[in-house]
Amino acid sequence: MDEDLLPLTALLQQRGLRHRIYEDHGRQVIKVGSEDAAQLVRDTYRAWRSGELSIQLSRPTTLAPRASFLGWQIAPMTLVLIAFSVGGFLLLLLNAPLTWLALFTFTPFSVEQGQVVFGEVNQQYWRLITPAFLHFGWLHIVFNCLWLWELGARIERQMGSLNMAGLFLVIALVSNSVQYIFGGPGIFGGMSGVVYGLLGFAWVGAAVQPEWVFKPARPIMLFMVGWLVICLVGVVEVLGFGAVANAAHVGGLLTGAVLGAVFGVASRTGAAD
């Protein structure tokens, strides 16, 4: 259906009614969190289409650049994570000493007589998180930063910066640890585990709590899950793009899905109370 629902959704947003519009079998569907809200939407739509209610949209002029700038300001934690990721990439791009790189890997390492020797984590707990900031190529850093912004910024705008920071810490810790458990000592890194964690959180969380409007579109889910499967079966390595931390991807995805379910249930329970 080609009906333009932009005026209606603008009015609903102005009235503080959280909702999401999506297409289902050729129809546009407005999803809200309760039956009372659904009835309000039906009444508003009927009044609008019958002419009882007039909705006028004004075109933004001088405020547009400011609104765009604020769009970046309301996701500061996501931008910080992107900045740290770029910093980790620069360690390799600028040929920083290996001792610098070894400060941020999951296990410390040194090169002795041409061989990489791994040490113990001991009480260097930052190593459970910092591999997420290490990136080993242009495709690696660009892919991760784009998806981190696409998913992370949406979640942060809805959940807040503090929750976004908590999500990152938990997902990074679990995904890095799972990669170490299944892959053993090694030099691995990247924000991909966190990206897949945010994907799982956004998909499951928005399914459990309909008022959250950051659910990824179906094409995005198909692409990301398809890429995960391609990596799992080894196609990427066969094509010569290097090893992939598949355990971190799967661990991150499952962790994010669990967190999405927990947060979603907690949100709905809190709203009901």
Residue matched to tokens 């990596």: 231
CB-based burial, 117-129: b 16+ in 10 Å, e otherwise = ebeebeeeeebbb
Q: Phi and psi dihedrals of 110, rounded to 5?
A: -145, 160
Catalytic residue among 135, 140, 175, 192: 192
Taking the CA atoms of the chain, what radius of gyration do you get in angstroms? 22
Strands (E), the chain: 20-24, 27-31, 109-112, 115-118
Catalytic residue at 249?
Answer: yes
Whole-angstrom Cα distance, residue 41 to residue 205? 23
Q: Residues 200, 254: contact at Cβ < 8 Å?
A: yes
Catalytic residue at 50?
Answer: no
What type of residue is 206?
A
Strands 20-24, 115-118: pairing is: unpaired
Whole-angstrom Cα distance, residue 252 to residue 174? 7
**DSSP secondary structure of 91-128:** HHHTT--HHHHTTTSSS-EEEETTEEEE---TT-GGGG
What type of residue is 25?
H
Catalytic residue among 68, 140, 249, 267: 249
Active site residues: 192, 249
